[in-house]
Amino acid sequence: MRAYELIKAKRDGRALDPADIRSFIDQYTRGDVTDYQMSAMCMAVFFKGLSAVELGAWTRAMLESGEVLDLSETKGIKVDKHSTGGVGDKVSLSLAPLAAACGVPVPMISGRGLGHTGGTLDKLESIPGFRVDLSVADYRRLVKDIGCCLIGQTATLAPADKKLYALRDVTATVDCIPLIASSIMSKKMAEGIDALVLDVKVGSGAFMKTLADARTLATTMIGIGKEMGKKVVALLTDMDQPLGRAIGNSLEVIEAVEMLRRKAPDDYTEITLALTAEMLVLGGKAANEAEARKLLIASMDSGAAEKKFCEIVAAQGGDPSAITDLSKLPRAKKVIPVRAMREGLVTAIDSEALGLAAMALGAGRAKASDVIDPAVGFVLERKVGDAVKVGEPLLQMHVNEDARVNEVTERVLAAYTIGPQAAATRPLVLEKLS
């Protein structure tokens, strides 16, 4: 069937034949199906969904659009982690060296920012010299030699997803469960892993706003993993407010290093430990979560985790002294407080609105061609449950240009809800699925 016929069929809610799906993805990879046609298909999928059979065919077509890596030369069980994205989610930056320091090989292929959420690659590139565009040969070598490599998609690895990933970001089709699941799992199954830990975010700062939607996404990805012979564990984690206190690329690297020094905010530390512990159990380095946590704490206390991060940075062309001396990371010219206009307790933070405010400041992209400013962002002074008086700072805004300060200030104030009574809180880890 022609692309037009397939788009029309899905628009009208009809099931697509797996062979037609494979042909459509193959033609898109080669450029015979245009971006505007794929945009139309994505919007049709957004509204009409994909059946289990269609989703399996779509994911496998994305996976087989490029090469599937073989990491058999690396000893041990290779485990990766993937987050569905949230505001202030810098977990991968600390999790990867933590797991590798404990002996679990971590082949991690990450993405750039999507919508209001930051991207691991953008954060890593705020480290002077750090390269995420390594070759497949370098990727294999680093996973084998130092136990970890963090790169972006290569030209040969799930190229269909690489094209589609950027397209979804600018066509309002990011928060679509079939497209999220197929994107994540096609990349992860192609990178040579044996097992995968999923961090499925739930709340105002996540793409999945409800627990039900997050559970559906998690079970969908677990099902895809099972079909392909991989062990997959998913944690549903809270994203009703930003994770940690830093939002912005360089600022989040700083907080990630502080976490390895056991100086980071409790919520960020707990989520990182919970996810990395699952990796150690899947990787055969710990019998259970309690044992895994002991190993993780020991790797931080001994300095092994930070040393591993420096080793990764050096191996990927970065300056490891920027990790040991955080003042070498990009810094904004000005730090401007955004002050509370009323007294009370912070009862809610609209994390998506705060993420969009950071994007407007230059920390993210409104369109694929935008250039990110690695230094700008926010450091939160008040989070949910904290008391604040009139004139006290809600957050510190790190800026290089004055042009949007007033607009961003208004966005920040609108994102905070201040009231007379404390809001009910929920656990950081809401559910575990496997």
| Active-site option among 65, 83, 183, 299 | 183
* Core vs surface per residue 238-248: b (16+ CB within 10 A) or e: bbbbbbbbbbb
Q: Is 161 a catalytic residue?
A: yes
Q: Is 187 a catalytic residue?
A: yes
| Active-site option among 81, 82, 245, 382 | 82
d(CA 276, CA 1): 45
Q: Is 389 a catalytic residue?
A: no
Q: Is 398 a catalytic residue?
A: no
Q: Is 250 a catalytic residue?
A: no
Is-contact 13 48, C-beta < 8 A? yes
| Active-site option among 187, 215, 308, 398 | 187
101: amino acid identity, one letter: A
| Active-site option among 80, 89, 122, 161 | 161
Tell me which residues are annotated as active site. 82, 161, 168, 183, 187
